[in-house]
Structure 1
């Protein structure tokens, strides 16, 4: 009996060990399988990232970008320049790509490149030293200008009349084509109450053209490309925003018209957000001036009653559309407002902006400095 029990015990122990071994083998097999799957996923993700990184930034709507490569620049420094100028996605990947391809012989100088170039095309341009040609047409659009003022600047520098440029910009068939081509443009710009469909979408900057008198569409689309690239550059912030691109550009245009310094742009943005969160009317004077269509030094009580969806004294929320062409800093400020407690601000003639928490404080500030604007208006009218 004792031998039988002993044998039975040995058999059970053997079967238990066999079972444990099978379990271990299954765990090992599944672990290896999972690691293999993870490795494949990581490999495919890395491959797709590298493939995207070495490809063009925007092959559909390529934009010309001027860059300067200083003498003695390394591949790492060139990669940083290209990334900062929006020509590539990642400067570090560029550096490793150059090392992998064993490329060298980059030439210092000024270049006119495009966002439609991939790594190989950029490398060839920089190696061959295809220095930028002298532009036939150069003009600059300052930040914060109304679209009608932008049109006048373009007309002054080209053979196109302001009327012809405006006719193209307001052509609905052309606008529909642009909406199909640009992610930032939607049917909202076709609203009948919008004064200028592309207001706020034409980026203020210096423009260089190789032709002396490029087509109106070429000029417009060069300016649209700049704005689209800025939006793409900050896509993560845009996607996480509670506001649409149209609303963000509208806020940015208000900020641009009110602030002269970068610090004030972010603080004013914080004030605007505070008022929006409290369902307060924004009550900013530049929206009234835009609604009326006059550059006002002083906003009168009669002006404040001007009925327009742009008038933020009459209507709550963000206005129906942008009121000027904002620069990149104002657009970022609209995306990342400072965390402030202020609900009011007052811009002086000097550009200084004074902030306050209560309406009484704001009114006292306005009363103290209002005469500055009266004097500025008289001085301007006398010129």
Structure 2
């Protein structure tokens, strides 16, 4: 009888499985080492960027911070002057630390100063000249009204501002430059691409006629500064920046009092999670294109993707420029079980979980709005 020298197939499969396991373990170990290495490298890079550029160099550099400079432009100036290592790290650091109140002026700064010393110097400075141009955009302002206000306070015509704001090539350039902007703003249903992205605040400019792009970009930068400070919440959210700014704009138009903003934000999230329509009056006014004191039954029939009484989910985009408090409200909403809310004419908001109770509230206080409308 001849002896069978062929390998046992089972034994062969076991050997192959062992080899595969070893390969998988090696690959996992390599990936883990790479991740750890990148993390350590990133940490070292960031901490190094916060240290002095040259600790032994006591020479000073004259640095001018113009009026109206954002943290982004200040970081760029400081990096160009050689007193910090990285302007982007500076920008994120001051946002993380919630540092505000930087003063325009001329400073004597040194490469031997660390980033915290530089921040203190910039906050203790004094304005050396009055701005040539100043305007204020109130919270909750519509895009159309922002253009009107800018045109009123600057030498530009509304048509010139609109042309810049709606130039597709310019918008694509902005999308490349700013984290908070993406292709969502170019969707066909979005009425105005930059609605909700122009931060409401006071703006000061050294020049009497700064370029329209300079005005626009400073407003977007201010919005980005107020959004990226919630990077942890953004990463954990199922909603995009565009969605969250849309919600923030609704909160801005709904709430009169600060304490109501996070509660209303919680109600809106509850409705979305329940698959309900948002059914909020400010979206109807935006759909119509008219500031409404009261919403009529006829208004509710307006066929527009912005009308949240007719269409489920979020409208295509923001309906106004939300302020810092409304942005914070949607990033950190109040955890509640309310589904309904009713704003009284005096500013009080009444919340309900039950629809019948909500209807009773409406019937009780609707006359306040009717009387107020008659006296207008």
Cα distance, 1:169–1:89 mapped onto 2, change above 3 Å: closer
Secondary structure in structure 2 of the residue aligned to 1:204: coil
Aligned partners of 1:113 and 1:122 also within 8 Å: no
Q: Give the alignment's Cα RMSD to 1 decimal.
A: 3.5
Match of 1:330 in 2: 326
Measure, in 2, the Cα distance between the counterparts of 1:128 and 1:312: 48
Match of 1:88 in 2: 94
Measure, in 2, the Cα distance between the counterparts of 1:132 and 1:235: 35
Secondary structure in structure 1 of the residue aligned to 2:104: strand
Match of 1:311 in 2: 307
Match of 2:255 in 1: 259
Secondary structure in structure 2 of the residue aligned to 1:345: strand
Of 276, 282, 289 in structure 1, the residue corresponding to residue 285 of structure 2 is: 289
Return the offset for 1:193.
1.5
Match of 1:51 in 2: 48
Match of 2:61 in 1: none
Secondary structure in structure 2 of the residue aligned to 1:355: strand
Give the TM-score normalised by structure 1. Answer: 0.71
Measure, in 2, the Cα distance between the counterparts of 1:321 and 1:90: 27
Cα deviation, 1:297-345, whole Å, max 9, x if unaligned, reads 1111111111111111111111110001001111111112111111100
Measure, in 1, the Cα distance between the counterparts of 2:338 and 2:332: 16
Cα deviation, 1:268-319, whole Å, max 9, x if unaligned, reads 0111111111101110000000011011111111111111111111111111
Give the TM-score normalised by structure 2. Answer: 0.73
Measure, in 2, the Cα distance between the counterparts of 1:314 and 1:160: 38
Return the offset for 1:55.
9.0
Match of 1:176 in 2: 172
Cα distance, 1:314–1:112 mapped onto 2, change above 3 Å: same
Cα deviation, 1:143-171, whole Å, max 9, x if unaligned, reads 01111111111111111112221121111
Answer yes or no: is 1:360 the counterpart of 2:356.
yes
Match of 1:210 in 2: 206
Cα distance, 1:128–1:227 mapped onto 2, change above 3 Å: closer
Return the offset for 1:359.
1.6
Deviates more, 1:363-372 or 1:278-287: 363-372
Aligned partners of 1:64 and 1:113 also within 8 Å: no
Aligned partners of 1:310 and 1:320 also within 8 Å: yes
Return the offset for 1:242.
0.9
Secondary structure in structure 2 of the residue aligned to 1:88: helix
Cα distance, 1:181–1:366 mapped onto 2, change above 3 Å: same
Measure, in 2, the Cα distance between the counterparts of 1:55 and 1:89: 20
Return the offset for 1:208.
0.8
**Aligned pairs, number:** 305
Return the offset for 1:123.
6.3
Measure, in 1, the Cα distance between the counterparts of 2:319 and 2:224: 18
Cα distance, 1:153–1:86 mapped onto 2, change above 3 Å: farther
Measure, in 2, the Cα distance between the counterparts of 1:235 and 1:148: 30
Secondary structure in structure 1 of the residue aligned to 2:103: strand
Aligned partners of 1:200 and 1:250 also within 8 Å: yes
Match of 1:151 in 2: 147
Measure, in 2, the Cα distance between the counterparts of 1:335 and 1:288: 24
Larger Rg: 1
Cα distance, 1:40–1:248 mapped onto 2, change above 3 Å: closer
Match of 2:371 in 1: 375
Unpaired segments ≥5 residues, structure 2: 1-35, 54-67, 72-88
Answer yes or no: is 1:112 the counterpart of 2:104.
yes
4+ long deviations beyond 4 Å? 39-46, 89-92, 123-130
